[in-house]
Amino acid sequence: MTAIIESAAPIVVPPLAKSPGYWTGVWRRFKKDKVAVGAGLVVLAIILMAVFADYVAPADPTRSSMLRRLRPIGTPGYPLGADELGRDMLSRLIHGARLSLFMGVVPVFIAFVFGSVIGVAAGFFGGKFNTITMRTVDVFYAFPSVLLAIALSGALGAGITNSLLSLTIVFIPPIARIAESVTTQVRSMDYVEAARASGANALTIIRVHVLGNVLGPIFVYATSLISVSMILASGLSFLGLGTKPPTPEWGLMLNTLRTAIYVQPWVAALPGAAIFITSISFNLLSDGLRSAMDVKG
């Protein structure tokens, strides 16, 4: 075959321009979105801050001082004030980012894995299996997410593991629903029909044809849940259902500082501001990803 071509008259082959891949396009569109890039940088900064908390924080977040309780913002040695036990707020906020980020990302990631498996299976196999699975999902969907999280955490009892578990359960149904609806759309595509006609088995079709087309939209949807997860997790801690003191966590800090709003109102409001900044950055980043990856809905 090659010999024939080589023996033929020299053909001038124009240099093949490498067609830019899908991800190149996504990155090009994302780069143009200034808001999303800014939000991404903020998220990156918060992640770095959490990872290197031990080096970044100016003081020990658990060292208390009865003499320096509830100092205002700007006190020498306490740039963001001191909390109700005289601990440095700045250091506590920096260390608190660890648990808040963890509780924002991990439940969503676990739910992403389980929800995708459930949803893709239900969407791909359809029929009775779909009906039974999706009706079960609907039962959990019948609870507002805050109520479901509080109900599960309340029954299981306080603690970080239980919060993690209940938040994961809260996010599986919405992710499974999205996964099911995208998979049902992809399943009726001609290329899936063609693959089936050429003898590919179910697993191959799912792996090669379905997953590549459904994971993007599911992933984008899941990233929009990160801020919800963070707000809910902090809310559980705020109710006393999450972490236990003295661990620095933004929701718990907000709870213990609630009584201080008459003494140092703005110091008491700081942990909530940290939650707000992080959650809005994640939301804007997720919105940017959605338009860059051109996901509808």
Partner 1 sequence: MLSYLAKRILYVLPVAFGVSVFCFLLVHIAPGDPLTSVLPPDASQAMQDELRKIYGFDRPLPVQFGLWLLKALQGDLGTSIATGRPVAAEVWRAVGNTLLIALLATVIGFLLGSFFGFVAGYFRGSFLDKFASMLAVLGVSVPHYWLGMVMVIVFSVQLGWLPPGGAGPGGSAAWIWNWEHVSYMILPAITMSVIPMGIIARTVRALVADILHQEFVPALRAKGLMDFGVFRHVVKNAAPTALAVMGLQLGYLLGGSILIETVFSWPGTGFLLGNAIFQRDLPLLQGTILVLAMFFVGLNVLVDILQGLLDPRVRRR
> Nearer to partner 1 by C-beta: 175 or 284?
284
- Find the part of the chain contacting partner 1 (CB under 8 A) among 55-63, 103-111, 207-215, 267-275: 267-275
273 makes contact with partner 1 (CB under 8 A): yes
31 binds partner 1 (CB under 8 A): no
Closer of 126 and 154 to partner 1 (Cβ): 154
| CA 259 – CA 234 distance, rounded (Å) | 17
Supply 209's token pair.
């044809």
Q: Is 41 a residue that touches partner 1 (CB under 8 A)? A: no
The only residue of 34, 128, 135, 296 in contact with partner 1, by rule CB under 8 A:
135
Residue 138 as a binder of partner 1 (CB under 8 A): the answer is: yes
Give me the count of residues in the chain: 297
Binding segment (CB under 8 A) for partner 1, from list 80-88, 139-147, 176-184, 208-216: 139-147
* Residue 18, CA atoms < 13 Å, CB-side half-sphere: 4
* CB of residue 183 to partner 1, shortest distance in Å: 20
Instruction: Work out which of 46, 170, 225, 241 binds partner 1, going by CB under 8 A.
Output: 241
CB nearer to partner 1: give 134 or 206.
134
Question: Which among 64-72, 112-120, 192-200, 229-237 is the span making contact with partner 1, rule CB under 8 A?
Answer: 229-237
Q: Does 143 bind partner 1 (CB under 8 A)?
A: yes
- Asked whether position 34 contacts partner 1 by CB under 8 A, the answer is no
Q: Which residue from 102, 109, 114, 140 is in contact with partner 1, where contact means CB under 8 A?
A: 140
Q: Does 144 bind partner 1 (CB under 8 A)?
A: yes
Query: Closer to partner 1 at the Cβ: 248 or 271?
Result: 271
Q: Which two tokens stand for residue 293?
A: 């990856």
Burial class of residue 80, CB neighbours in 10 A (0-12, 13-18, 19+):
buried
CA-angle at 235, arms to 229 and 237, nearest 5° = 105
CA atoms within 13 A on the CB side of 100: 35
37 binds partner 1 (CB under 8 A): no
Binding site for partner 1 (CB under 8 A): 135-136, 138-140, 142-147, 150-152, 154-157, 227, 231, 234-235, 238-241, 254, 258, 261-262, 265-266, 268-269, 271-273, 275-276, 279-280, 283-284, 287
